[in-house]
Structure 1
Amino acid sequence: MNSSDELMQPVSAEELVELEDFLLSEKTSENAMTLDMVDGYLTAIVVGPTTPLPDDWMPYIWGMDDDKAPEFASDEEARRLTLIILRYMNTIAGALIDNPDAYLPLFDRCTYANQEDEDLAVESWAYAFAMGIELTREEWKPLFDDDEASGLLLPIFILGKIGEEWDDIAKEELDEWRDAVVEAVAGIYEFWLSDRFGDGE
């Protein structure tokens, strides 16, 4: 199996648990992402106007700029976990290519111990999606400047509480915005399709 084939292998549930366990362990910074954050972050990278190099986006999964580096047990562990992340990004991309309307964020594919954990997962996903936008904020400007398309970001910014004005929204309204995430992601993906394939205006 060559490296290209390896990167396209689907990620198993067991591998995602392995990644999550590492992210939550003392081997990483307290600012390392949770798995829900990784899902939102990678989704933003996949649906955006351009794909930054892994060296530009991978470090933020492990924490902030001045945080300690992850303490991998070996070079093999570092390679394995990095490969899981890259394959997971490709899995998200593949799902969107196959059918953008069928995309589901991780929080809609998981069960949680209680409502509080589930609400935190949704907020974390959306917040990390916004982090993914910030990686290439200038390239995202055409979407922000489009009066209609920019509305696609509203569910994500509200759920991620990007701005103080969203702090006091009622739970019932938040649930409605949560239901709008799938349509928002599909719409953002389709907005940038022409740019992705090089035939945009």
Structure 2
Amino acid sequence: MKQLASRLRRLDDALADLPLEEPMLLTELDGFLTGISVCPEAILPAEWLQGVWGSDDSGVAPFDDPLDVQWFADAVMARHAEIVRDLARGKLRPIFDVDERNGDVLWELWVDGFAEAMALRPDGWDAVANGDDRDAAAALESLSRLIAIARNESPLDSMEINAFEDRATTDLVDGVQRLHTARSRRQPDSPAQTIGATSAKIGRNDPCPCGSGKKSKRCCG
């Protein structure tokens, strides 16, 4: 992984400390947030944050101190907002881990996080795959192929897989940018903007959108 800003290093440490059997790595979180950002349907933070910290059906975050909930939610939301800005500029900058032994980019972890985000709205992604926007469908097909390779579920032979792996990081960035462009054509008000507008209307006595289970005024509000 390239040198990270201190806020991202702190977030990486916080993810590792979550009381989960297999917490997300930072690169997985980055792929997950990117998938949320280009999802064809809006997903509120109260829902997808639970996927990050692995809360149970109660939706309560696994932190004892409300300040920890607020810091963690703010840090994740800040990275999400950064991804949205980069996509709007056409300059997506994924956070990939790198194998220190040979310098290989471990893109598989990132794309697995992206796939987890896709699993939140399978019908929406099916609509993209079968829709009239052929460029979006082709971009999704490219990403789905890489997801299958990363999960050892690809029907391709080894030579074909090697060819796709050689250009995986380029294809990932290109595919995600094309999906972002297609979604912008369909929805001038992007899901990210909708999320922001919805969150801004939450009352102080309403449940906090971070998913902590506390009232907004006693948590992130």
Q: TM over 0.5: same fold?
A: yes
Structure-2 change in CA distance of 1:193 and 1:140 (3 Å): same
Query: How far apart, CA to CA, are the structure 1 residues paired with 2:129 and 2:38?
Result: 14
Query: How far apart, CA to CA, are the structure 1 residues paired with 2:156 and 2:16?
Result: 26
Give the one of 33, 39, 47 matched to 2:24: 33
- Secondary structure of the equivalent of 1:182? helix
- Cα displacement (A) at 1:96: 1.2
- 1:43-192 equivalences under 5 Å are 43-63=34-54, 65=56, 71-97=62-88, 99-100=89-90, 102-107=91-96, 111-115=98-102, 118-119=105-106, 122-146=107-131, 147-161=134-148, 164-165=153-154, 169=158, 170-192=161-183
Query: What amino acid sits opposite 2:126 in the alignment?
Result: K
- Secondary structure of the equivalent of 1:52? coil
Provide the residue aligned with 1:8 in structure 2. none
Query: How far apart, CA to CA, are the structure 1 residues paired with 2:135 and 2:22?
Result: 35
Structure-2 change in CA distance of 1:168 and 1:14 (3 Å): farther
Query: How far apart, CA to CA, are the structure 2 residues paired with 1:153 and 1:125?
Result: 16
Structure-2 change in CA distance of 1:140 and 1:44 (3 Å): same
**Larger proportion of helix:** 1
Unpaired segments ≥5 residues, structure 1? 1-11
Percent identity of equivalent pairs: 23
Query: How far apart, CA to CA, are the structure 2 residues paired with 1:60 and 1:198?
Result: 25
- Give the superposed CA RMSD: 3.0
- Secondary structure of the equivalent of 1:135? coil
TM-score by length of 1: 0.76
- Secondary structure of the equivalent of 1:140? helix
Structure-2 change in CA distance of 1:75 and 1:42 (3 Å): same
Query: What amino acid sits opposite 1:174 in the alignment?
Result: E
Provide the residue aligned with 2:194 in structure 1. none
- Cα displacement (A) at 1:83: 0.4
- Cα displacement (A) at 1:24: 1.3
Which structure: larger Rg? 2
Structure-2 change in CA distance of 1:124 and 1:168 (3 Å): farther
Query: How far apart, CA to CA, are the structure 1 residues paired with 2:45 and 2:72?
Result: 13
